[in-house]
Structure 1
């Protein structure tokens, strides 16, 4: 039985106020006021190509090493942001970093939702407990990438996934906020729930310490495929962290199905945002 909001085992959070800013990953040329080149030509890509100054771990190196661009960086460069009519630059403060996210209200997948900020706050406050340093993480439905960015800043090796039309903006935000300031450069991969799982994420090659998901459950017709995907990606030892704003009865129906296949713990509640954060470990009996 999941504890109630009054249970001493459940931490309740007041308004989502990230930690004060300590420093900024972005260079002065990458500040929001200078992001006017247009989403189809992110300057983060150009800097990476021109400088060619990345070691294999994604940190800076001398210009002479231009032929040693990290493979994951190359994978990040293959997507182009969708040409929406308008983008906005939204600012977030997590893990002591200023994070600038390119968002557009023209797509559900280009907006940061309440579950994402709740999950970021939890990751930030429990970094050591979760042992995120060098942890292998996959995010389902990464959207504009805030959760993946925060996990990367906290030291994790992150794979951010979403539908094809979202990947360009996701990649753009990841590069702008993690390039040359994280231990591991995040990777972007296409993931259509319930499709091509064994082909694209073979269990023999891919293992994740954590699966992250935020606001992936809402009023749509793909919840069974989502649950199938969650189950597939979890292996023995994998922990799934799922944060969601509960809006519809279908959200609670999904939670009931989730509990049937995952040992489930309510880790935190964010009452003002109607967000609940669950920990799930796949049942193997």
Structure 2
């Protein structure tokens, strides 16, 4: 079994450590505990690696609600810390479908060194798979999701990806030009899975997708279709994106679409 970061495990004792409301440890004095029980970074590691290892200190605010789920994609064993207490800390069906598609079509998609942004990354499975497949990944979500997202990305990509994934805050429809200016940001792919469900921010979501897309950007959106609002969003999506149905999974009600922005 090929595990990217087998030498670093989350210390059991972190459950009792000081923490902030968002889940990050308040102290930097805790040393990373390695598999052999010793403290501190491995001998010979550089400052950058030590800094990354220091970020593996995320502690859930409600630790009892978190579980570790195991996935296998891109030839790697991936361990995701999930919580049923938060929509943003669970791997939904669309995410596994999108991961499967990325894995099966990695060469066709030319993911090696591709610039990829994931909207609503949640616990990070899709971003992890894209990163392992060679992409330069930016994983985004709401502020309260970022701690667990950062932890999962580091745990599963450190030492085994060409491009360490980046984590950024992204509130749909807010400060888009300020945080992702069109003049400087370009993505080959914008990924999204199960971002459409019964909520009140669908217009903001579509605005965000449009802002992040440029000529040559492909939006890959996988979603389990549950409500009429899902189909209403799809209709609006088709109005601004040339849309192709890439795959459909009737057993899980998941559809995977590719969208390229329409230009006058």
Task: Answer whether contact 1:219 1:248 (CA < 8 A) is retained.
Answer: yes
Task: Answer whether contact 1:81 1:172 (CA < 8 A) is retained.
Answer: no
Superposed, 1:136-215 pairs within 5 Å as 136-215=115-194
What's the CA shift for 1:37? 3.5
> Do the aligned partners of residues 223 and 78 (structure 1) sit closer, same or farther apart at CA in structure 2, a change above 3 Å counting?
farther
Match of 2:206 in 1: 227
* Distance in structure 2 (CA, Å) of the matches to 1:175 and 1:241: 24
* Distance in structure 1 (CA, Å) of the matches to 2:59 and 2:204: 26
Task: Answer whether contact 2:88 2:122 (CA < 8 A) is retained.
Answer: yes
> Do the aligned partners of residues 248 and 46 (structure 1) sit closer, same or farther apart at CA in structure 2, a change above 3 Å counting?
same
Task: Answer whether contact 1:82 1:166 (CA < 8 A) is retained.
Answer: no
What's the CA shift for 1:51? 3.1
Name structure 2 gaps, 5 residues minimum.
16-22, 26-30
> Do the aligned partners of residues 27 and 70 (structure 1) sit closer, same or farther apart at CA in structure 2, a change above 3 Å counting?
closer
Name structure 1 gaps, 5 residues minimum.
1-21, 54-61
TM-score (norm 2): 0.86
Specify which of 33, 37, 45 is matched with residue 14 of structure 2: 37
Task: Answer whether contact 2:9 2:33 (CA < 8 A) is retained.
Answer: no
Residues 213-237 of structure 1: CA distance to partner in whole angstroms, max 9, x if unpaired? 0000000000000000000000111
Residues 47-72 of structure 1: CA distance to partner in whole angstroms, max 9, x if unpaired? 7994388xxxxxxxx43x32x5599x
Match of 2:2 in 1: 23
Once superposed, which parts of structure 1, at least 4 consecutive aligned residues long, lie more than 2 Å away?
Answer: 28-31, 34-41, 45-53, 68-71, 76-82
Superposed, 1:249-264 pairs within 5 Å as 249-264=228-243
Task: Answer whether contact 1:81 1:167 (CA < 8 A) is retained.
Answer: no
Match of 2:18 in 1: none
What's the CA shift for 1:203? 1.2
* Distance in structure 2 (CA, Å) of the matches to 1:142 and 1:272: 24
Task: Answer whether contact 1:82 1:165 (CA < 8 A) is retained.
Answer: no
Q: Does 1:51 find its partner at 2:56?
A: no
Q: Does 1:83 find its partner at 2:73?
A: no
TM-score (norm 1): 0.80
* Distance in structure 1 (CA, Å) of the matches to 2:228 and 2:176: 28
Q: Which has the higher contact order (CA 8 A, sep 6+)?
A: 1
* Distance in structure 1 (CA, Å) of the matches to 2:33 and 2:143: 24
* Distance in structure 1 (CA, Å) of the matches to 2:227 and 2:124: 24
Match of 1:245 in 2: 224
SS in 2 for 1:25: coil
